[in-house]
């Protein structure tokens, strides 16, 4: 019977380390063409116990994490990505990013694809409520940001306290004497936006103001930018003479579009209408008037998510005690209120 | 001697297709846990000719492309990514993105990592002049966007004609009667920004205006946003009473920062100073005054780059005839000129 070589034997025969043999057999980078050929020719010549292949397949680590992102053009998401990438890079772990464009089918395909790339961990930012774990062939540690998957099992969920953020924004407008506050959001909402709306409703109710459904605008944003979405909605609202003295927009670009449209219609901000946005994007900081907004602690969220994922990756079988990590938001007062 | 099983034999024994066996052995997704266990137990029991493993390793395709991006928060880059991702997704090919933050070491590591992930093709957007091909163990088709690698071999380079873009912007200001045009750019420039500066110089010389080195501002942008970079530079320029009647900023956020700073200093745009940006970012479109800018044909660039890469991936050994594909830019006239 043909002798079954171990990885050690192959390493000896090809004059490289066992780690290199393992990398070549898994085609897992960091070796030269020559090394590859040397190792594969030994394998070819002498054969190799596939038990070890199976074992390596089972045990291997790719030193890579995957990130599923619904929209990389979103400034909050791109900050998260950049910071999480840095965290892992410092630990010798690469990050690969997949952009799903909020498409459920794409998300499924990318989960499968990241699984096939043998990522050691996954960060899923925002997007769908569910994570289709049937796409995963292995038990991969997962941390979600701004997303509450229906099946959470051993998944940690990190994110801003969006209900409280929405509440803070609305409460602030109420304290500034607004009586009729428009809620401006997009129609294809994520869980975090819906939470912000819940916060709005909570503040309205608490202040015994009327919760007028006409004031809740879920604007269609198909194929147009957030700015244009807001522009269209505000033009439409003004055309039907709806009265309002405040706007809470669930993100800063919607707020900016609303403010510019009010200006164009000779409605002064903050004198006649006060506006609060969400996210503390560049646009809120640098436009005139600068926009009062809810700041998300992106650094803190990125670090917590990365920390938890790294722990889960380092200690297989670790159970998560705290599933929900809510990071407080804070209101930044600027010129639109 | 133990019988050497072929992939076909394993497929028969485990009751799955040969394609599935190959995917399991390569751990290349799209199979269930059960299938995996079935296949691996057959492999374990009967052994498997590693010649076939070697062969599969050599031949396998991952149906994935990699994208190296210097800065995903840049709107032009994120549009490129989104469109290229869509192009390949429609063809059943996944895109994985690596964000290098303009760090040469990260770029090297990610090239290695993408190579290890067996990507079938690479798109390298902007960034360093060189591509360290020694990081790649295989001959992977590469297409560059907005980047001119020193060693180009069989690499296609797609991008806007940045020299002409810079020329158009400056020529337009000259035609609007500007005599002293400030060039505002960042200090950590990519090849494309340097090309834009060349275009500026070309137009200045052609009009027999003085090429005053004082007017070329390469602003330090360490740890501050483009807006703040421009703000600081313009404040500094104003403090030393440098005369200028036009600004060509090599991107829209720099232009926006400059305009807001001029406004704050009671200098009217476009009456006293005319401003042209670059990229046609959202900010140029939606701010007041809206910013005259150079539009890059992002759709066209994305499609050309994707088309070429797809061809290179489909026809191994194909030689590129046209190495440089320059896509013309166009000036969009708005309120700052």
Best to test chain B binding among A7, A58, A137 (most B CBs inside 10 Å): A137
Chain B residues closer than 8 Å to A252 by CB:
none
Q: What's the pLDDT score for residue B299? A: 96
Q: Is the pTM higher than 0.90?
A: no
Interior/surface letters B176-197, b for 16+ CB within 10 angstroms, e for the rest: eebebbbbbbbeeebbbbbbbb
Contact B64 A40 (CB under 8 A): no
Q: What is the Cα–Cα distance from B257 to B278, expressed in whole angstroms?
A: 13
Q: What is the Cα–Cα distance from A236 to A203, expressed in whole angstroms?
A: 26
Question: In terms of Cα–Cα distance, which of A242, A273, A263, A176 is closest to B289?
Answer: A263
Question: In terms of Cα–Cα distance, which of A335, A316, A325 is closest to A59?
Answer: A316
The answer, yes or no, to whether residue B4 has pLDDT greater than 80, is no
The answer, yes or no, to whether residue A81 has pLDDT greater than 60, is yes
Q: Per-residue pLDDT tens for A1-42?
A: 344 566 777 787 788 888 888 778 776 667 788 888 888 777
The answer, yes or no, to whether residue A273 has pLDDT greater than 60, is yes
Share of chain A above pLDDT 70, in %: 90
Contact A50 B47 (CB under 8 A): yes
pLDDT band at B21 (very low <50, low <70, confident <90, very high): confident
DSSP-assigned beta bridge partners for residue B331:
B294
On average, the pLDDT of chain A sits at 88
Q: What is the Cα–Cα distance from B307 to B88, expressed in whole angstroms?
A: 9
The answer, yes or no, to whether residue B6 has pLDDT greater than 90, is no
Q: What's the pLDDT score for residue B31? A: 79
Best to test chain B binding among A105, A113, A291 (most B CBs inside 10 Å): A113
The answer, yes or no, to whether residue B59 has pLDDT greater than 60, is no
Are A94 and B113 contacting, i.e. CB atoms less than 8 angstroms apart?
yes
Q: What's the pLDDT score for residue A112? A: 86
The answer, yes or no, to whether residue A170 has pLDDT greater than 70, is yes
Q: What's the pLDDT score for residue A191? A: 80
Contact B82 A73 (CB under 8 A): yes
Distance from CA of B230 to the nearest CA of A (A): 12
Q: What integer is the mean pLDDT of A311-336?
A: 92
What chain B holds in terms of domains, given with CATH numbers, is 7-59 (1.10.260.40), 64-160+298-329 (3.40.50.2300), 162-295 (3.40.50.2300)
On average, the pLDDT of chain B sits at 88
Contact B98 A98 (CB under 8 A): no
pLDDT band at A52 (very low <50, low <70, confident <90, very high): very low
Q: What's the pLDDT score for residue B1? A: 33
Question: In terms of Cα–Cα distance, which of B130, B155, B201 is closest to B312?
Answer: B155
Q: What integer is the mean pLDDT of B211-233?
A: 93
The answer, yes or no, to whether residue B278 has pLDDT greater than 50, is yes
Q: What's the pLDDT score for residue A122? A: 95
Distance from CA of A46 to the nearest CA of B (A): 9
Best to test chain B binding among A82, A99, A102, A227 (most B CBs inside 10 Å): A99
* Residue spans of beta strands (DSSP E) within chain A: 64-69, 94-99, 121-125, 142-145, 156-160, 181-186, 216-219, 246-249, 274-279, 292-295, 324-327, 330-332
Q: What's the pLDDT score for residue A200? A: 98
Contact B97 A94 (CB under 8 A): no
* Residue spans of beta strands (DSSP E) within A166-271: 181-186, 216-219, 246-249
- A-B CB pairs within 8 A amount to 175
pLDDT band at B63 (very low <50, low <70, confident <90, very high): confident
Contact B256 A48 (CB under 8 A): no
Q: What is the Cα–Cα distance from A246 to A255, expressed in whole angstroms?
A: 11
The answer, yes or no, to whether residue B52 has pLDDT greater than 60, is no
C-alpha torsion sign, points A10, A15, A17, A19? negative
Interacting residues of A264 by C-beta distance below 8 A, sequence separation 6+: none
- Look at residue B100 and give its three-state secondary structure: coil
The answer, yes or no, to whether residue A116 has pLDDT greater than 90, is no
Nearest to B29 among A53, A115, A288 (CB): A115
For A242-246, B152-156, B246-250, B285-289, which range has the lowest pLDDT when averaged over its residues?
Answer: B152-156
Chain A residues closer than 8 Å to B27 by CB:
26, 57, 60, 116, 118
Q: What's the pLDDT score for residue A152? A: 57
For A216-225, A252-261, B55-64, B169-178, which range has the lowest pLDDT when averaged over its residues?
Answer: B55-64
Please name the residue of chain B whose CA is at the shortest distance from the CA of residue A286. Answer: B227
Contact A78 B75 (CB under 8 A): no
The answer, yes or no, to whether residue B84 has pLDDT greater than 70, is yes
B233 vs A17, residue with greater confidence = B233
Q: Provide the 8-state DSSP code for B134.
A: G
Q: What is the Cα–Cα distance from B79 to B198, expressed in whole angstroms?
A: 26
* Greatest distance between any 2 Cα atoms in chain A: 91
Are A70 and A39 contacting, i.e. CB atoms less than 8 angstroms apart?
no
The answer, yes or no, to whether residue A249 has pLDDT greater than 60, is yes
The answer, yes or no, to whether residue B58 has pLDDT greater than 60, is no
Q: What integer is the mean pLDDT of B277-300?
A: 97
Q: What is the Cα–Cα distance from B72 to B99, expressed in whole angstroms?
A: 6
Q: What phi and psi values does residue A23 have, to the nearest 5 degrees?
A: -65, -40
State which of A99-108, A211-220, B149-158 shows the largest mean pLDDT: A211-220
Measured CA to CA in angstroms, residue B333 lies from A216, A220, B171, B251, B280 at distances of: 37, 29, 13, 15, 11
The answer, yes or no, to whether residue B227 has pLDDT greater than 50, is yes
The answer, yes or no, to whether residue A244 has pLDDT greater than 80, is yes
Q: What's the pLDDT score for residue A58? A: 47
ipTM of the complex: 0.80
Contact B72 A95 (CB under 8 A): no
β-pairing verdict for A330-332 and B94-99 = unpaired
Share of chain A above pLDDT 90, in %: 62
Q: What integer is the mean pLDDT of A265-291?
A: 97
Question: In terms of Cα–Cα distance, which of A304, A331, A336, A337 is closest to A87?
Answer: A304
pLDDT band at B78 (very low <50, low <70, confident <90, very high): very high
pLDDT band at B51 (very low <50, low <70, confident <90, very high): very low
Are A291 and A256 contacting, i.e. CB atoms less than 8 angstroms apart?
yes
Chain B residues closer than 8 Å to A62 by CB:
116-117
Q: Per-residue pLDDT tens for A176-198?
A: 999 999 999 998 767 888 999 99
Q: Per-residue pLDDT tens for A53-80?
A: 444 344 557 789 999 999 999 999 999 9
Best to test chain A binding among B9, B52, B117 (most A CBs inside 10 Å): B117
> With the CA atoms of A108, A111, A114 and A118 taken in that order, what torsion angle do they form, in degrees rounded to the nearest 10?
-130
Are A24 and A35 contacting, i.e. CB atoms less than 8 angstroms apart?
yes
Q: Per-residue pLDDT tens for A127-163?
A: 767 777 777 777 889 999 988 777 657 789 999 999 9
**Both ends of chain A: CA-CA distance in Å?**
83
Please name the residue of chain B whose CA is at the shortest distance from the CA of residue A109. Answer: B94
Q: Give DSSP secondary structure letters for A77-134.
A: HHHHHHHHHHHHHTTT-EEEEEE-TT-HHHHHHHHHHHHHTT-SEEEEESS-S---GG
Report the 10 Å Cβ neighbour count for B320. Answer: 17
């Amino acid at each position: 019977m043909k002798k079954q070589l171990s990885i050690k034997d192959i390493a000896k025969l090809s004059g490289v380390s066992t780690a290199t043999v393992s990398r070549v057999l898994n085609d897992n980078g960091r070796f030269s063409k020559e090394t590859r050929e040397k190792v594969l020719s030994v394998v070819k010549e002498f054969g190799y116990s596939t038990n070890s292949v199976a074992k390596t397949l089972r045990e291997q680590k790719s030193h890579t994490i995957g990130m599923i992102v619904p929209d990389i053009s979103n400034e909050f998401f791109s900050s998260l990505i950049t910071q999480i990438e840095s965290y892992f890079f410092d630990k010798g772990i690469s990050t690969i990013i997949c952009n799903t464009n909020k498409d459920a089918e794409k998300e499924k395909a990318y989960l499968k694809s990241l699984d096939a790339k043998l990522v050691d961990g996954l960060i899923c930012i925002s997007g769908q409520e569910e994570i289709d774990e049937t796409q995963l062939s292995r038990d991969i540690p997962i941390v979600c940001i701004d997303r509450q998957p229906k099946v959470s099992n051993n998944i940690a969920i990190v994110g801003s306290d969006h209900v409280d953020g929405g509440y803070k924004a609305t409460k602030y407008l109420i304290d500034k004497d607004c009586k009729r506050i428009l809620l401006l959001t997009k129609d294809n909402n994520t869980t975090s936006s819906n939470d912000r709306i819940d916060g709005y409703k909570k503040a309205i109710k608490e202040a015994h103001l009327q919760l007028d459904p006409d004031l809740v605008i879920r604007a269609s944003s198909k194929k147009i930018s957030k700015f244009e979405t807001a522009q269209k909605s505000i033009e439409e609202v003004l055309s039907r003479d709806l009265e309002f003295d405040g706007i809470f927009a669930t993100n800063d670009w919607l707020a900016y579009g609303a403010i510019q449209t009010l200006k164009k219609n000779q409605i002064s901000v903050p004198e006649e209408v006060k506006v609060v946005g969400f996210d503390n994007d560049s646009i809120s900081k640098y436009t005139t008037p600068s926009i009062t907004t809810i700041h998300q602690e992106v650094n803190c969220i990125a670090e917590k998510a990365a920390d938890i994922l790294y722990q889960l990756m380092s200690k297989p079988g670790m159970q998560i005690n705290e599933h929900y990590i809510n990071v407080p938001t804070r209101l930044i007062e600027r010129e639109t209120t």
